[in-house]
Structures are given as structure tokens and as C-alpha cells.
Amino acid sequence: MIKTNLDAFIQAIEGIKTITDPAQIAKLSQDYHTFSPVLVPKLAGKVGDIVVRPDNEQEVIKVAAACAKHRIPVTVRGAGTGNYGQCVPLHGGVILDMTQMQEVLWVQPGVARVEAGAKLANIDKKAREVGWEIRLAPSTYRTATIGGFIAGGSGGIGSIEYGFLADRGNILALRVVTLEDEPQVIELRGDDVQKVNHAWGINGIITEVEIPLGPAYPWAEVIVTFNDFMTAAKFGQALGVADGMIKKMIAIFASPIPQYFLGLQPYLPQGTHAALLMVAEPSLELLPGLVQEYHGQITYQQTGKGINLGEYTWNHTTLHARTVDTSITYLQSLFPPDPNLQLLGDMYHYFRDEVMMHVEFIRTQGRVTAAGLQLVRYTTEERLNEIISYLEGQGVFIANPHSYIIEDGGRKVIDPEQLKFKEMVDPYGLMNPGKSRVLGAGN
Amino acid sequence: MIKTNLDAFIQAIEGIKTITDPAQIAKLSQDYHTFSPVLVPKLAGKVGDIVVRPDNEQEVIKVAAACAKHRIPVTVRGAGTGNYGQCVPLHGGVILDMTQMQEVLWVQPGVARVEAGAKLANIDKKAREVGWEIRLAPSTYRTATIGGFIAGGSGGIGSIEYGFLADRGNILALRVVTLEDEPQVIELRGDDVQKVNHAWGINGIITEVEIPLGPAYPWAEVIVTFNDFMTAAKFGQALGVADGMIKKMIAIFASPIPQYFLGLQPYLPQGTHAALLMVAEPSLELLPGLVQEYHGQITYQQTGKGINLGEYTWNHTTLHARTVDTSITYLQSLFPPDPNLQLLGDMYHYFRDEVMMHVEFIRTQGRVTAAGLQLVRYTTEERLNEIISYLEGQGVFIANPHSYIIEDGGRKVIDPEQLKFKEMVDPYGLMNPGKSRVLGAGN
């Protein structure tokens, strides 16, 4: 950014918290794309020029107006727990850190309205006080913000019950500030929320979010071990389709993945495959019968406060594995629904130890299926691409976490409605520029 | 029954409430098998010799011992809202009316324990006081008892979320008294509840029930009308698989069925097909978008206290139709899961007005599918059987409500575990005799 521009910008937003210390800026220009040996060199050195931390929507509007006026790129971020480089600024500019706007505005039966920077764990805590809880959460729920989760995430713990964030009903309203000379504040409700959902912050600055809540069941955490991976996976599928049993997490890990879970070693005998579960206490009594059908062993079961098994699942699995072995990277994938898990079995046997199988059972559009977050023993980018191509060729859907291009991820194309909305809310193309192919990334 | 036996029995249960008035006995020997012109003549004149109304389990034990001693058949009943002749005594004897045992023993988060004769509406009311509600209910929830629902029912309102009673987790415990000289009291938990679930009272006298509860969402009632039946059905399927939207009832009616709903006429324009829905208020805002996709019209929407749309669905549909036209009878069926509803469409077009299509969308074993309670313009038993055979031949599962034989209903075979349990709890074969083929019915 041209220095005079930056000076003028700083003057225009006087009174609003900023960070100008380069070390701090560098830190706040990062996310967890570091899981990818492919992304690391590509995003190396990409930093913002300044971090701005608004306290309220009025300040966001002021920042937006100043950015528009001075044509300064804006990269919005929450806790930076994304894995696709979503909040790494490719063209410098302002890092808009939303974590100061963290108020839970209200909680009603089944619904909460919160500021975009509210932490998921905090929303959950407030909701539980009145008998409800958040429906969906990434494994990073302790630090992740709701705005960041919606802008950059897709699902997680709870998806076995409620599907993905993109499924109708999982986001009720989004309030966004536009990047115009005179920024507007727009409230999107109903299906219109999809104009901003999972748009990586290219479509306006989310300031408030209204989300549905689920019932605050008393949850039990359970670990089950198996001698055979596919039996473990079939157990996961069977629990997934047991409609009378309430659960919010079914994570299945092929050996040797459980060995990376250092904190869980007492419950994970060497060489076994494992299921980490969260099951509602009223359904817990039915679990042993199902476990027995699949020849599993319950090695850990905790009602009330447990060891937070959620923090070993979804992307945390990769985090734990990389703590032990930094050469490990991962994939994000979705298997087609199939009660027999044929393709899952084929891919498990085909790659064996090179692509260690980790699946999370989810339900979306009425079908229970396996979302894969396979761990890959990385050798070269070429080999990684070969693995991805092979999986895609076999019918596995890949949301490639080794690309920072939106279209390479879960959506493949940016919805025309999103593009139309983009034109309106970001006429100068200043929001998270360079992340979308259709908007000219790589040109 | 031999009169001396009856006298001895009455003496043995002294102090326990009985009814000996023939008119009253006749009434309490009935259920809603009267929907079936085939069953009516077959069950005509089948009455008990005496009605016994125990106040507590001690009295049940006393009655059971006396019945065993004097070899008196026992037909257990709740409110008698079944449709298969489940509680019509084929061989006289004792009608054991459980409706006096109606206490809600306790309610905890997600679980309730109640006496078998507790009315579903009453359990629901008590549960809602602490933020929960019953998961599954027949359309007769205002009068039906939980014991009767479990012994003779299968699912209903709520099945789109939780599946059938037979799905693991929907019954947590059953306490039964055996029909032995020295009756035992047995508590069945976990998968063992299936030994008594849907056994039509041949497997012990249920005295207490532990059931899981669902979250007490604020529910909205909605009526949507459509110009085309299959579009209405596809809307039902689409709402069924919308995992982010919480609903507990999706009932779809082909024209002219809506015309039988006299109380709803303002909302059901002549000639239209209709959907009656119960949707959680936090999901309601998403409904118009979905309705629009399927070219429907929302004609009624009520949050808070509505007109109890549930009382127009499931078997109540048949009740309303028969109020207008007593020549109408019905079927109970299940279509195989199919997002395209091909078979449903074929059957709708094949039979047209003779078999008027009424489906309830449910989810069981992980799949959303259509349960049919078609209305049939009855001509002869032969033609009815022809219709049933044709449907079965096309792949529609029929739980024939024109037979009082357990095996002709939803289960087809009685589970070996149930038969083993039967031998133990009813050594003299006194419980609801004549209803099972494998136990010698029709011999």
C-alpha cells in the first residue's frame, strides 16, 4: 500500500483501535493454512499493512468508508482458525480483526443473535444457561468466532444432526456492512443469507449473526476401539442412521491415527482403530448393544465434564498428528452416501498407510455420509495432486485444502447470486482480493 | 368363560375396581378396527367377561396371579385407539384397562418415566414444564396412553425427526408383570425393550415406561396448498431432507382428501392438494423459500396455540374422511426411500380416485421416506385384497389394517426373542390369545 494512503486512512479512522507493530500484524495475517506444505510457500510473506479492531458497527462503517475512499484492500478475520488461507491478505491492506465485537445480543428458545466476533464457546455457554446450545461447531470452538465460522467454515461437530451451515435453516440472518463510499448496512434473512455464507469475506463485512440453537442435551463422551477399520466405519454409519439415538459427533480413525492422540493413550490400545463419540445421555444406554454388534470395545465413557473429545476431531485430528510428525498433511473430502461404505473401504485399502483414513459421519440433505479428513504422508506436491486426482476419479468429492482459491474448495463455483451481491457490496473489488478465480485470481 | 371361574376370579381380586355392566364391557372391548369393513364382521360380538381397572402395580400383580390360576385370558388396553383390533378380546376373559395408572413418575432432561396408562398429552404437558416434550405421538395423543402406543403403535407425529418406536433409543425401559402363578416384575432396558415393543400385549403387562424426550421447540402449524399432487409430495420430501430445518409433521394429501377436513375449509381451496405441517418457529422463516420452489401457497400459519393440525393427520385423516363418507376405508403402507418418489407417483396415477393418496413423511434408519395411509373407496373385500396385492407387487410395503393377526401388520414375523420371552412370561398362553399366527391363531 502506498504510504500516503495508509496515513490518510489512519487519520480517517481516528479513535478506532489499530495495531501497527509488524510482528503482531504478521501474526494476524496468518491462519492454519500451515497444515498445507503446498500453501505455506505460496502464502509466505503475505501480510497486511495494518490491523484494525473495531468495537462496534459504527466503527466498522467508518473503516469501510475509509477503505473504499482510499481503495485499500480489506481482509476480514475472526480467530484465524481456517485452513485454506481464507484470511491471509494477498495484497496487503487492512486486516479487519472482528474479535472485539463479541457480544451475545440475545438468546431466545431456539435462536440467538450475536456479534460476528463472538466466540462459539461463549455463545454456547450463554445459550446453555437457558437450555439451548449452538448446533454446529468446528473443533476450534474454544477460540473460533461465529463470523469466521460462517465466512470460512462449512460444518463440524453437530453436522450429524443438522447438516452443513449451507443447509437451509442453519443460519437465520446475517447483517453486513458494504465496502462503498457510503457503506450500507444490509440485513439478509431467509435464503438470502446464502449470498454471504462461505464467501470468505469477499461479500461485505459481517457484523451480526442470527443462528438457530439446538437443545442442550446432557452429552456423554465415549471412545470405542475396534480391531478392524471397516467394522469401525460401519459402526459409525449404523450410529449415524440410528434416528432414535441423539448424537453430535461420530469420528472414526484408522490405525495408526489414534497413536497421535497423546492425551488419550490410556484408552487407545496400540494398533486399534477408534471411534470418538458424543452421544446424548438419554441415548447412552443403547450404545453398548450397537457397539457389541460391531465387535467394539468401549474404553472410555464420561458423562458431565469430559476431556473434550471434540478437540481430537475434524481439523484438530490433523493438528495432533502434525504435533507428532510435521511431515503429515491432510485432505478434506466427502464420500457419496452408501450404507455399505464400498468406496470408503476401497480407498482405505488402496492407499493404506500413505493416506490414513479419518472420517466424520455427517448428515446432509437427508443422507448420512462420511466426510473424510484423511491424513497424508506428504512427499511431493505432484504426488499429493496424484492422490487427489485418483480420489476424484473414483467419485470422492475433494474440497482441496491445498489451494487458496475459493473455487477449488467445497463449492467449485461461486453462486451467481453471490457474484451479483458482490458487485453491489464491493464495487471496487477490495474485499479479500485474489481468492476467487472468477474474480480474476491468478490473472 | 365358565361362570364359577369368573366368580372365583372376582373373589381373588377383591378390592380392585371392576366393571361388570355388559354395555360398558362391550364398549371397552372395542377399538378403532371399525375403520375396516373387513374386520368389523370378524370381530363382531367379541367381548370380554369383565373389565378390571387396577390402580397400581400391586393390583396388576394380583390380577395376573388370579388370571394365571384360573386360566383366564387377559386383554390389556389403554384408550383403545388402535386400528387393528389389538385390544378386542377374541376369547373373552379379562379386559385389563390400564387407564387408572396414569402417573408421570419423573421427568429429567431428555427422559421421563411414567405409568403405562398415562396419556401422551399429559406426559407432554408435564415434560414441557421443564423444556422437553414427547418425541413421538399418534394423532390420538389427547386420549391415547403411552402403554397402548408402545404395545400397539409404531410411530406418528415426530417420526420425521426420530423414526419409529422400534428404532433404537425411542423406548428406554419397560416394566412388565408376567402372567404366572407367581407373577414376576421384570424391568427391560436397552435393546431388551424390543421383547415387548409392539407385541400387542401378548408379552406381559406393561406397568411402567421410560421414554426419551425431545426439546420443546415452539412449534408453528402451517397449511400449504398445491395445484399438483406430485409437486406437493416432492415439497414434502424436500422439507423432510432439509436437515437444518426442524419439523415434526409433514402430511401430504391428494385432492379430494382436503375436502374431508371440514374444520379447515377456509384454508383448503376446492381441488387443491395440501400439506399440513408442524415446523419449529426458528425454522419457519426458511419455509416460504422452499414453498416457493415448489409453487405452493401458504394459506394458514399459526405460532403459539393453533388448531391442532396433528388431529387431521395419520389415522385421524381416515377418521375425518369416514365422518363424511362411511364407505371409505384405508391402508397403511411404506414406500421405499426414493428422492424422486417414482413409485409414489406411479401408484397415485394408477389408482387415482379409488385409492386417494395420503402420505406422512418420516425418517427411519437414516432415510426420509413416505408412509402411506391411503384412503380407499371400498367396494368388496376381494377388490381391497387386489389393491393390496398390486401395491405389494410394485414394492410398496403393506402393514395390512384389515387383519387382526400380528404377522399381517408391520412386522410380518414375530421376533424369535419375543417368542422366547413370551414362553417365559405367559406360560399358559393367556395374553391376548388368537392374535398371532405362529402362536396358533386361526387353528
Distance from CA of A136 to the nearest CA of B (A): 10
Evaluated on CA atoms A230, A236, A240, A241, the torsion sign reads positive
Among chain A residues, the shortest Cα distance to B112 is held by A282
Distances from the Cα of B337 to the Cα of A74, A179, A387, B241, B390, angstroms: 48, 47, 34, 11, 19
Q: What's the one-letter identity of residue A164? A: F
Q: How many helices (H) and strands (E) in chain B?
A: 14, 21
Reply yes or no: is the peptide bond before residue B256 cis, omega within 30 of 0.
yes
Confidence at residue A363, expressed as pLDDT on a 0 to 100 scale: 97
Q: What is the dihedral of CA B223, B229, B233, B235, to 10 degrees?
A: -60
Confidence at residue A40, expressed as pLDDT on a 0 to 100 scale: 97
Strand order across the beta sheet in which B328-330 lies: B328-330, B375-377, B355-356
- Residue A102, classed as helix, strand or coil, is coil
Distance from CA of B12 to the nearest CA of A (A): 39
For residue range A242-269, list pLDDT tens digits in order: 999 999 999 999 999 999 999 999 999 9
Mutate to test the interface with B, among A150, A193, A243, A362 (most CBs of B within 10 A): A243
B100, pLDDT greater than 90: yes
Distance from CA of A261 to the nearest CA of B (A): 30
Mutate to test the interface with B, among A136, A160, A168 (most CBs of B within 10 A): A168
A293 touches chain B (CB under 8 A): no
User: With an 8 Å Cβ cutoff, are A162 and B289 in contact?
Assistant: no
For residue range B282-298, list pLDDT tens digits in order: 999 999 999 999 999 99
pLDDT band at A443 (very low <50, low <70, confident <90, very high): very low
Confidence at residue B5, expressed as pLDDT on a 0 to 100 scale: 85
- Evaluate if pTM is beyond 0.90: yes
Q: Which residues contact B401 (CB under 8 A, 6 or more apart)?
A: B33, B35, B36, B39, B83, B84, B330, B331, B332, B409
For residue range B315-355, list pLDDT tens digits in order: 999 999 999 999 999 999 999 999 999 999 999 999 999 99
B443, pLDDT greater than 80: no
Nearest to A282 among B110, B285, B365 (CB): B110
Confidence at residue B414, expressed as pLDDT on a 0 to 100 scale: 86
Among chain A residues, the shortest Cα distance to B135 is held by A244
A217 touches chain B (CB under 8 A): yes
Confidence at residue B4, expressed as pLDDT on a 0 to 100 scale: 72
Evaluated on CA atoms B165, B169, B172, B177, the torsion sign reads positive
Q: How far is CA B434 from the centre of its chain?
A: 20
pLDDT band at B164 (very low <50, low <70, confident <90, very high): very high
